A = this chain, B = another copy of it.
Amino acid sequence: MILASVILAEAAAVYEGREVVQTQSYGPEARGGASKADVIISDRPILYPKSRRLDVLVCLSQQAVDRYMAELKQGGIAIIDAFHVKECPLQSAVCLPFSETSRRELGRELFTNIVMLGALSRLTEAVELDSLKQAIARRVPPVFLDTNLRALAIGWDLAAPVSEGLERGSESRKEAGRVARP
């Protein structure tokens, strides 16, 4: 999750020239063993570095939902792993099988975070897919680059029906495949 937040922050800051604050916490500060990471992206200088009233909350565990859901603002988007989160949150949420898809398509859950970033880019439009690709290339060992770029494309595809509706969904799935895959 922390690597994902670093990639997201660098995609926005380095490749889109936006103002970004990225923070992360482990253990006690994240209130009990789980880790959490915050990214603020803005087109104006960021005056207050702590994130409040979240626009987007990504939860890859039930713990994360239970602890942080209250920080999502009204009208924000919760993006949730459909396998590791067992209980539906009471607020608006998109549940997608990130971890399961990573396991099925790429053989390991290791790429869950990058699959999630692909979906996040499509669902929120917070950063361009292309900026994420460049940031991944910078952060990921070359030997894993191809698999990570595939993970990103898979995540982009996974969000298609939700973000694009039925018909546009299937069209743009094809297109995303062309654009995002090497």
A residues near B (Cβ < 8 Å) are 55-56, 75-77, 80, 82-83, 85-97, 100, 123-126, 158, 160-163, 165-170, 173
Contacts and interface: CB of A to CB of B under 8 A. Distances in A.
B125 A168 contact: yes
A158 B93 CA distance: 11
A6 to B, nearest CB: 21
A75 B125 contact: no
A102 B37 CA distance: 34
7 contacts: A75-B160, A77-B166, A82-B93, A85-B88, A87-B87, A88-B88, A162-B163
B87 A96 contact: no
Which 5 pairs from chain A and chain B are nearest by CB?
Answer: A125-B165, A93-B95, A77-B161, A88-B88, A124-B166
A162 B123 contact: yes
A163 to B, nearest CB: 7
A65 to B, nearest CB: 9
Contacts of A124: 165-166
A111 to B, nearest CB: 17
B75 A173 contact: yes
A56 B100 CA distance: 21
Contact of A94 (B56, B94, B126, B166): B94
Contacts of A160: 75
A165 B95 contact: no
A170 B74 CA distance: 11
A172 B151 CA distance: 31
A92 B158 contact: yes
A163 B168 CA distance: 12
Contact of A161 (B86, B92, B95): B92
